Structure 1
């Protein structure tokens, strides 16, 4: 970045002009990815989708869309002050602020293209098979949990609604994650004081499962949720070999949501450092935007495990809709599978790793 000082005889101070840098052209792919988290191909994919929107509102002398996207992603990746992101690309801090609040909703609008639950029977079968490969848990569509994204207090009479049980201000964000650590569903609107089960009870996700839109698939949740037909939780005190085996499979499979939180937060540090925006809408747009970018990165990192699906036979255990799904699985599936389980010491505890779970 080149800095040009311009002397002004009529002023007591000098003007500093920053030469704009197009890092997409200056850096090779490895250097670009280390600074912006995305590869150049992934960056071009996003740019092609949002450029028409940006050009509709662009003035003749406005900053080029490629520079705008670079500024926004650099801000997401580092969580830095807008002045730092502005200096990095050679623009003013005011321009950086306007750009971030213009780019974030544009990327967030791509939500439905990159974040969705399985829509067809084939997609549903592929997802449950991938999840089965983790620890032998059948019919699992995904793991559900909430994570706290740190914010600055918005003030006003309702300011304390945003303070969570850990004592800091946050948005409580609900996610559903699959075995590839991709986000399949996202709810971003609840203040930090809201309990996880309340968010789920008022979500469109619950409505979809209530109306059997995901077949006989199930979600895995922690003990913060109520045990339900389609959302099963671990046992508090497993005693029999079948119950211990169920808990192990549940914990190991549900761990994918904790791993997702850890990687998502490390990839886009703005989530861990916390936003300094003055309204929740601006923070919400940034969270959605980083989720879209995160899923693009994860999509290109899928492992070769999918190739095993053609040879994998998953046991079919169908329970009546009125049954206690958790107990039914323990009695009719894990009781049968307990011969592969030896001692309780084999139980694997979750690793964790979220930014503020």
Structure 2
């Protein structure tokens, strides 16, 4: 009798559901730029640069693809939305989005010196100033592509020391930044 009662109370496990692989390559360049502020080529470059850092072995066979991690972080950066909103959009939990954004951000910070540099050659600075004047109509502004106008980035970079040690005139260019 006890065996019959025990057999009726057997826990039936819920079938495990795996998420389909995230494939950003199915989106058009226009859709990617609208969602992530990067096109296919830019996403691929970021993913390639961060892949080794982001690839994890969970031992469970369901580790998140580095391309999806990059897209989650870019979606967060692009929208400024809360983690749970980005998670709802991307089909992931808020805690997962938080972890992914942290890892991608740390990876980007680690590789910043490879991409963000102060132009040291005079002809390069003059070309940048001319280009910025053409685009924005503001003369003598030096802005390096991909750089961020954030005081924390400026203070933690070697650029601040370089500018303090090397006194320049207005003709050499002006570093334009926001109020941050």
Q: Same fold (TM over 0.5)?
A: yes
CA gap 1:78/1:218 in 2 versus in 1, 3 angstroms? closer
Q: Find the aligned partners of 2:21 and 2:83 in 1 and give their Cα distance.
A: 16
- Is the CA contact 1:68–1:103 (under 8 Å) kept in the aligned structure 2? yes
- Please list the CA deviations of residues 169-217 of structure 1 after superposition, one character each: whole Å capped at 9, or x if unmatched: xxxxxxxx36xx7637753179xxxxxxxx7xx9854532343376861
**Match in the other structure for 2:93:** 92
Shift of 1:130: 3.4
Partner of 2:161: 207
Q: Map 1:202-351; keep pairs closer than 5 Å.
A: 204-212=158-166, 217-219=172-174, 257=176
Unaligned runs of 5+ in 1: 1-8, 143-176, 191-198, 221-256, 262-355
Q: Deviations over 1:85-143 (max 9, x none)?
A: 22322222222221111111112222223322102233223234435656685xx353x
Q: 2:151 aligns with which of 171, 187, 198?
A: 187
1:46 aligns with 2:10: no
Give the total of aligned pairs: 166
Check whether the contact 1:20–1:89 (CA below 8 A) recurs between aligned residues.
Answer: no
Secondary structure of 1:73 counterpart: helix
Query: Cα distance 1:19–1:87, how it changes in 2: closer, same or farther (>3 A)?
Result: farther
With over 3 angstroms needed to count, the CA separation of the structure-2 counterparts of 1:59 and 1:119, relative to structure 1, is farther
Deviation per residue, 1:309-341 (Å, 9 max, x gap): xxxxxxxxxxxxxxxxxxxxxxxxxxxxxxxxx
Q: CA 1:204 to 1:185, structure 2 compared with 1: closer, same or farther past 3 Å?
A: farther
Instruction: Identify if the C-alpha distance between structure 1 residues 35 and 83 changes in structure 2 by more than 3 Å, giving closer, same or farther.
Output: same
* Alpha-carbon offset, residue 21 of structure 1: 5.4
**C-alpha contact 1:115 1:183 (8 A) present in aligned 2:** yes
Higher relative contact order (CA 8 A, sep 6+): 1
Separation in 2, partners of 1:79, 1:117: 28
2:36 is aligned to 36
Matches within 5 A, 1:109-148: 109-131=110-132, 137=139, 140-142=140-142
1:131–1:71 Cα change, 3 Å = closer
Structure 2 CA distance for partners of 1:80 and 1:130, relative to 1, 3 Å = closer
Question: Where do 5+ consecutive residues of structure 2 fail to align?
Answer: 1-9
Higher helix share: 2
1: distance between equivalents of 2:35 and 2:138?
A: 38
How many angstroms does 1:18 deviate by?
7.5
Between structures 1 and 2, the one with greater strand share: 1
Which whole-Å CA distance do the structure 2 matches of 1:205 and 1:217 have between them?
Answer: 15
Label 1:69 to 1:132 Cα distance change in 2 as closer, same or farther (>3 A).
Answer: closer
